[in-house]
Amino acid sequence: MTLPLASSFVRDQDFINALYIVAFGLFIFGLMGLTGPRTAVRGNRIAAVGMLLAIVATFLLPGMGHNWALIAAGLVVGTVVGVPAARQVKMTAMPQMVALFNGVGGGAIALIAWAEFIESSGYDGDPLTFVIPSLFGAIVGSISFWGSLIAFGKLQEVLPGRPIGLKGVGQQLLNLALLLVTIGCAAAIAAGGTAGWLMVALLVAAAALGLFVVLPIGGADMPVVISLLNAFTGLSAAATGLALNNTALIVAGMIVGASGTILTRLMASAMNRSIPSIIAGGFGGGGAVAGASGAGEHAGSVRATSAADAAIQMAYARLVVIVPGYGMAVAQAQHAVREMATELEKRGVEVKYAIHPVAGRMPGHMNVLLAEADVPYEQLKEMDEINPEFTRTDVAVVIGANDVTNPAAKTNPQSPIYGMPILNVNHAKSVIVLKRSMNPGFAGIENELYYEPMTSMLFGDAKASVGQITQELAAL
């Protein structure tokens, strides 16, 4: 068949196009609401109304009227799967949930492109303005789907969080080869190739590319990866919009692409890394080697403390700064932390939270968790705001944060994280680090902070440790 997609959409349907315009207007208006905590809930709901409108408008298109049962079944199954998943997911598991939702979106795009290919007998007779966006959607959607699944697996700890893959250049050569195969298949199809295996090969190569690009990326780089994959899915949705001549898809997809790009750049610059270097295999080999050599030098000079001592230290402080990291999320310690802070505030201690832009596994991860625990919005301080305050901080409590507090980022040019902006925890008068063990973080880098004279370590599960401190505080 000759896919009269473009012409069918133009055919006298101003009303539906107007609905689409209202829909994307609602998306943009809704996103504007997301710029402030007060308007954000409403903004999100406005965008959801826009989505509903776009779906209803699609049903009204002239020529629609086939396979109703199948469409309804798809919508029902998707809702039945999506609603409980979204309702029940814990706030600590949010990064992997977002990765998963992102992945299925990418998968949908790749599948639609595949269906278009099959039904048009290999884009036979279709103009390049249709074929190229459709192929772009197939490639990037497939990368996004498989990459997101790996990100999900790593965050859910189904897969190891450490980088997996070939050492160094081998991995990059493999990725390059896969990229060339993908582009080669796309070029063959665009040049008129109609064989079914070409599209399958393209999808498989892009899938492998998604797998192999994300597998070697360590857990600490996940905020960058997730927002990058989000941007990818957005861009491929926009491409699908170009192919289907659907303005709502173009606008929505492109806005998501732009926002994902902004976030990705923010995350990458917060780690002082370039996006290409993260995609090319990040902390991988080099970092682990540097970390291993550092481990030997320091062994044995760590000071352990008890919950009782930590409580006394904090109780007589004027300013306590809490530095949360991924460990707090893993231990689900956010409520316990909030209770400890309340106990401190009762005693007249000022409590603030220092939030590093890449603490946790997705942008703003710590803010969400602390908001869940009802920590007042004003106490959450961003890096630039809190760093000057560490010099007048009596006790800095590091809860499951590691690399973002490592002074090596400033002092040791050999360190893989050298140059990354960090929280100046080492400027505080004393530092208490809550940690499960002396194992280095995801990046595999030894943290020099732990060996400083003002630092003491409180080993154990973060939630249990914080709970003990709170009890000790209450008993003082």
Partner 1 sequence: MFVTNLAILVVSGFLGYAVISKVPNTLHTPLMSGTNAIHGIVVVGGIFVLGFYPDLGAFTKVILVVAIVFGTINVVGGFLVTDRMLEMFKAKPTAKPDEPEDKQ
Structure tokens at 75: 């919508």
Least separation in angstroms between residue 454's CB and partner 1 is: 28
Kindly report the backbone phi and psi dihedral angles of residue 351, in degrees, each rounded to the nearest multiple of 5, phi listed first: -120, 130
Asked if 38 interacts with partner 1 (CB under 8 A), we say yes
Least separation in angstroms between residue 41's CB and partner 1 is: 4
Whose Cβ is closer to partner 1: residue 162's or residue 381's? 381
Asked if 8 interacts with partner 1 (CB under 8 A), we say yes
Ordered DSSP codes for 64-98:
--S-HHHHHHHHHHHHHHHHHHHHH--GGGHHHHH
Whose Cβ is closer to partner 1: residue 71's or residue 158's? 71
SS3 content of the chain, % helix, strand, coil (to 5): 65, 5, 30
Q: Which of residues 120-149 bind partner 1 (CB under 8 A)?
A: 129
Least separation in angstroms between residue 104's CB and partner 1 is: 4
Least separation in angstroms between residue 174's CB and partner 1 is: 28
Q: Which residue has the tokens 């629609």?
A: 64
Residue 300 CA to residue 41 CA, distance in Å, equals 50
**Choice among 309, 394, 403, 461 that is catalytic:** 403
Sign of the alpha-carbon torsion through 48, 51, 56, 57? positive
Q: Which of residues 319-358 bind partner 1 (CB under 8 A)?
A: 335, 342, 355, 357
Whose Cβ is closer to partner 1: residue 375's or residue 428's? 375
Asked if 233 interacts with partner 1 (CB under 8 A), we say yes
Residue 221 annotated to the active site: no
Asked if 60 interacts with partner 1 (CB under 8 A), we say no
Helices (H) and strands (E) in the chain, counts: 19, 6
Asked if 373 interacts with partner 1 (CB under 8 A), we say yes
Cβ atoms of 353 and 324 within 8 Å: the answer is yes
Question: Where would I find the beta strands (DSSP E) of 266-414?
Answer: 319-324, 350-355, 380-382, 395-399
Least separation in angstroms between residue 261's CB and partner 1 is: 8
- Exactly one of 309, 350, 372, 461 binds partner 1 (CB under 8 A); which one? 372
Asked if 195 interacts with partner 1 (CB under 8 A), we say no
Residue 49 CA to residue 465 CA, distance in Å, equals 45
Q: How far is CA 253 from the centre of its chain?
A: 18
Build a one-symbol-per-residue string for 203-232: x at contacts with partner 1 by CB under 8 A, - elsewhere.
Answer: -----------------------xx--x--
Asked if 151 interacts with partner 1 (CB under 8 A), we say no
